[in-house]
Amino acid sequence: MSKIIAVNAGSSTLKFKLYEMPEENVLAEGVIERIALPASHVEIKYGDGKKYEKTTDVKNHEQAIQILLDQLLDLDIIKEYSEINGVGHRVVAGGEYFDKSVVITPDVLKKIESLTELAPLHEPANVLGIKAFKKVLPDIISVAVFDTAFHATLPEKNFLYSLPYEYYEKYSARKYGFHGISYRYVSQRAAELLGKPVEDLKMIIMHLGAGASICAVKNGKSFDTSMGFTPVTGITMATRSGDVDSSLLAYVMEKEGMTDINEMIKVLNTKSGLLGISGVSADMREVEAAQATNPRAKVAREIYVNRIIRYVGAYLAEMGGADAIVFTAGVGENSITIRKEVAEGLNYFGIGVDNEKNDVRGVVRDISAKDSKIKTLLVPTDEELMIVRDVQTLANK
């Protein structure tokens, strides 16, 4: 029996989930928010519905980890630090270096640091989390689990851009894809629900969260995916634009007097998507609430659904059909109406949902209509479980 912690470090946040392994029991989970900002917030859920909360000043990620570990002791979740046998870090970009999870060594960390350009909003924070944990708990196994690794199986025809080939040779300019940890978990769980080996199935999985993407999974492997060189491309997201004509960016930059491309990249990442179109919110719930009286909110939601249908339709054509389409992540797991409208838009392919079965949130369920030719599934994701499983596997080796 061991205890393994899964960590997702953001620029000003530290999310965690502590598991007892190999039983896969969740002992505690929580988040420290507003790191390096005034009035940081610490929240830990544990036991039978218990919750610890505190507002304090947290200077950096190292202090955040120290606070987390001290609270695990104070709340009697662990008796001593040595009970934690391993830590798994979610790392967004693995580039072409990493096609699977790896034990973090100095060389591995150096390579991760070199990949900052692929995920500038995430990778530096991931590195901070790794270094901070290494400093506080230097002797336990530390594992990097990459969002891009699942997409290492993309064929060349799907990962190459139609640019001069030398850009790929010189700079590794290609599609990497993201949300791979989620896709790996959901594809395996969906296969269990269908009662078939994942290697025998073709699925299209829609990870619809604040960051959103779609993946065509063929025989258990990533075949195509909507996010590209960075997470900004693909479908419309909460604050990210999704696909945009690159010449339009040059046009808008000139009109707005922008001279730094990074300023435009920031617009694409933080001021676009549902927020940019609706002018109301990046939260789908608030956009839906406003759509009856706000035309921009209404069209933002219509665009969101339209882009999902467009990609799913393309992947159905690419793979020559599918056994199932699968909804997961925040919006996918909780928006009954989004699931219904996406299925209606794909009705031509023999996809449909049963209204009664679809009237749920956050549970594993086949929500297909009786006469559906392609199954429609709801499968909540569990990236943290995937992370600790990888730590356990590497620790056993």
pLDDT in tens, 214-224: 999 999 999 99
* CA-to-CA separations, 69 to 1, 87, 325, 376, in angstroms, rounded: 19, 12, 40, 41
> In this predicted structure, what is the pLDDT of residue 13?
82
> In this predicted structure, what is the pLDDT of residue 65?
86
Q: Identify the CA nearest to 224 among candidates 201, 253, 204, 249.
A: 204
Is residue 323 annotated as part of the catalytic site, yes or no?
A: no
> Fold match between 2-146 and 196-383?
yes
Q: What is the 3-state secondary structure (H, E, C) of the chain?
A: CEEEEEEEECCCCEEEEEEEECCCEEEEEEEEECCCCCCEEEEEEECCCEEEEEEECCCCHHHHHHHHHHHHHHCCCCCCHHHEEEEEEEECCCCCCCCCCEECCHHHHHHHHCCHHHCCCCHHHHHHHHHHHHHHCCCCEEEEEECCHHHHHCCHHHHCCCCCHHHHHHHCCCCCCCCHHHHHHHHHHHHHHHCCCHHHCEEEEEEECCCEEEEEEECCEEEEECCCCCCCCCCCCCCCCCCCCHHHHHHHHHHHCCCCHHHHHHHHHHCCHHHHHHCCCCCHHHHHHHCCCCHHHHHHHHHHHHHHHHHHHHHHHHHCCCCEEEEEHHHHHHCHHHHHHHHHHCHHHCCCECHHHHCCCCCCEECECCCCCCEEEECCCCHHHHHHHHHHHHHHC
Does the structure show a pLDDT above 80 at 11? Answer: no
Q: Active site residue: 107, 147, 243, 371, which one? A: 147
Does the structure show a pLDDT above 80 at 10? Answer: no
Structure tokens at 294: 């706000």
Left, alpha or beta for 95 (phi > 0: left; psi -120 to 50: alpha)? Answer: left
Return the residue matching tokens 């104070």. 74
pLDDT band at 156 (very low <50, low <70, confident <90, very high): very high
pLDDT in tens, 159-169: 999 999 999 99
- Chain mean pLDDT for the chain: 93
Q: CB neighbours of 292 closer than 8 A, spacing ≥ 6?
A: 298
> In this predicted structure, what is the pLDDT of residue 136?
83
Distance, CA of 374 to CA of 351 (rounded, Å): 5
Does the structure show a pLDDT above 90 at 1? Answer: no
pLDDT in tens, 50-82: 999 989 888 888 888 888 888 999 999 999 888
Percent of the chain with pLDDT over 70: 99
Q: Right CATH number for 196-383 from 3.20.20.70, 3.30.420.40, 2.40.30.10, 2.60.40.4070?
A: 3.30.420.40
Exposure letters 74-110 (e unless 16+ CB within 10 A, then b)? eeebbeeeebbbbbbbbbbbbbebbeebbebeeebbe
pLDDT in tens, 226-269: 999 988 999 999 999 999 999 999 999 999 999 999 999 999 99
Does the structure show a pLDDT above 80 at 284? Answer: yes
Domain ranges in the chain? 2-146, 196-383
pLDDT band at 36 (very low <50, low <70, confident <90, very high): confident
Beta strands across the sheet bearing 141-146? 50-56, 40-46, 25-33, 14-21, 2-9, 84-91, 141-146, 102-103
- Burial degree of 131 (CB within 10 A; 0-12, 13-18, 19+): middle
> In this predicted structure, what is the pLDDT of residue 63?
87
The domain over range 2-146 is classified in CATH as 3.30.420.40: yes
Tell me if 86 sits within 8 A of 140, measured CB to CB. yes
pLDDT in tens, 354-364: 999 999 998 99
pLDDT in tens, 178-208: 999 999 999 999 999 999 999 999 999 999 9
Cα–Cα–Cα angle for 130, 131, 137, nearest 5°? 85
Average pLDDT over residues 265-283: 94
Does the structure show a pLDDT above 80 at 114? Answer: yes
